[in-house]
């Protein structure tokens, strides 16, 4: 499967996923184990500016990325594992897995259909 063959749940998720890591909100795949794990990443700084940002020595602590695990699409409500579990190759062709060292949380119950 190529990135062009991914069948997206909606334009909001497609936009947030395909844009890749950048300043603002990104949707990312964080685990390819079943059920798939997705998250929203919130970045205050463009990745290309991280070295300059770190060198700026702010007088307070801050986070360079914040993560919110998502099970359902925040734009249309689609179950993300159900929608994308057969499309991993297309998603990973767009961006490699992005992980932030999180504990292994249980996913939603899977249908046995």
76 binds Zn ion (CB under 5 A): yes
10 binds Zn ion (CB under 5 A): yes
Which residue's beta carbon is nearest to the bound Zn ion? 73
Taking the alpha carbons of 48, 95, 28, 26 in that order, is the dihedral positive or negative?
Answer: positive
73 binds Zn ion (CB under 5 A): yes
Q: Minimum distance from CB of 9 to Zn ion (Å)?
A: 3
- DSSP secondary structure letters along 32-54: -SSSPEEEEEEESS-GGGHHHHH
Alpha-carbon span 82 to 97, nearest angstrom: 18
Residues that bind Zn ion (CB under 5 A): 9-10, 13, 73, 75-76, 78
């Amino acid at each position: 499967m190529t990135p062009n063959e991914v069948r997206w749940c909606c334009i909001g998720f497609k936009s947030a996923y395909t844009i890749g890591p950048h300043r603002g909100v990104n949707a990312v795949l964080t685990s390819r184990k079943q059920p798939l794990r997705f998250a929203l990443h919130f970045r205050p700084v463009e990745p290309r500016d991280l070295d300059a940002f770190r060198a700026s020595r702010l007088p307070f602590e801050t986070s360079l990325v914040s993560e919110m695990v998502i099970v359902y699409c925040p734009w249309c409500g689609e179950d993300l594992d159900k929608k994308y579990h057969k499309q991993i190759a297309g998603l990973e062709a767009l961006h490699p897995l992005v992980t932030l060292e999180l504990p292994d949380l249980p996913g939603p119950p899977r249908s046995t259909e």
